[in-house]
Amino acid sequence: MSEPGITEREWQQLYYRLERPLYNLAYRYVLQQQEAQDTVHDAFLQLWARRGRIRADTANRYLWVSVLNLSRKRRRWRRTKAFLSGAEVLLELPAPDSPESNAAAAQEHRQLHLAIDRLPEKLRGVLLLTEFAEMPHQSIAELLSIPSGTVASRRHLALKRLHAELKTD
């Protein structure tokens, strides 16, 4: 087991390796590109502030848990703000990355994101981590402090609900 302490170089390497998957996790919670990036940055700044107390081999886990928790907080705040102002929660879709992307695909994409947004938090968290964290179910189970079998069953249930919801839309 290594000593606590993360160097600037290790911090930078973690950022380059995890920026994209962490951003994608945060984006599915906050549904705004810049806010998703800010959420990832908040987690990296927290890690930097605690760099003397965290071991390099656990930094990966720390970042996933931080981004998940920060995203949940921001999502709650976004929904409260929308409720108080009476406005609809806006979904900001990234620009199409290929010329063949069309309006129908964008609509399908939007429906999928809104369906994920409507999932119960327990299912959404597991679904998004299994999508983006590129970790075995056992590691995700450790992150969430749940049994490994629960990860598989929650993912299965989440997919079933999404399928049912998208079929009725």
Partner 1 sequence: MSTADKLLRTFNPPAGGWERLVQRRDKESWPMPVTALACAIAVVVFAFPWPYRHRIEVQANGARLVGERSSGTTVRMLDGQQAIALPSGDPNVRLYWIAGGAQ
Q: Which of 14, 30, 31, 44 binds partner 1 (CB under 8 A)?
A: 44
- The reply on whether position 29 binds partner 1 by CB under 8 A is no
Q: Which is nearer to partner 1, 82 or 166 (CB)?
A: 166
- The reply on whether position 46 binds partner 1 by CB under 8 A is no
Token pair listed for 106: 């964008």
Q: Which of 127, 143, 144, 151 binds partner 1 (CB under 8 A)?
A: 127
Q: Determine the angle formed by the axes of helices 56-85 and 8-30, rounding to 10 degrees.
A: 30
- The reply on whether position 125 binds partner 1 by CB under 8 A is no
Least Cα distance to 18 among 51, 50, 41 occurs for 41
Segment contacting partner 1 by CB under 8 A, of 20-28, 57-65, 70-78, 141-149: 20-28
Please name the residues in contact with 125: beta carbons below 8 A apart, sequence gap of 6 or more.
68, 72, 144
∠ at Cα 32 (29, 34), nearest 5°?
Answer: 120
Q: Which is nearer to partner 1, 109 or 122 (CB)?
A: 109
Q: Which of 94, 145, 167, 168 binds partner 1 (CB under 8 A)?
A: 94
CB of 12 to partner 1, least distance (A): 7
Q: Are 140 and 133 in contact (CB under 8 A)?
A: yes
- The reply on whether position 60 binds partner 1 by CB under 8 A is no
Least Cα distance to 91 among 22, 21, 14, 36 occurs for 36
Least Cα distance to 74 among 117, 122, 132 occurs for 117
- The reply on whether position 142 binds partner 1 by CB under 8 A is no
Token pair listed for 156: 């299965």
Least Cα distance to 64 among 36, 44, 37 occurs for 44
What residue ranges bind partner 1 (CB under 8 A)? 12, 15-16, 19-21, 23-24, 27-28, 33-34, 36-37, 40-41, 44-45, 48-49, 94, 97, 109, 112, 116, 127, 130-132, 134, 159, 162
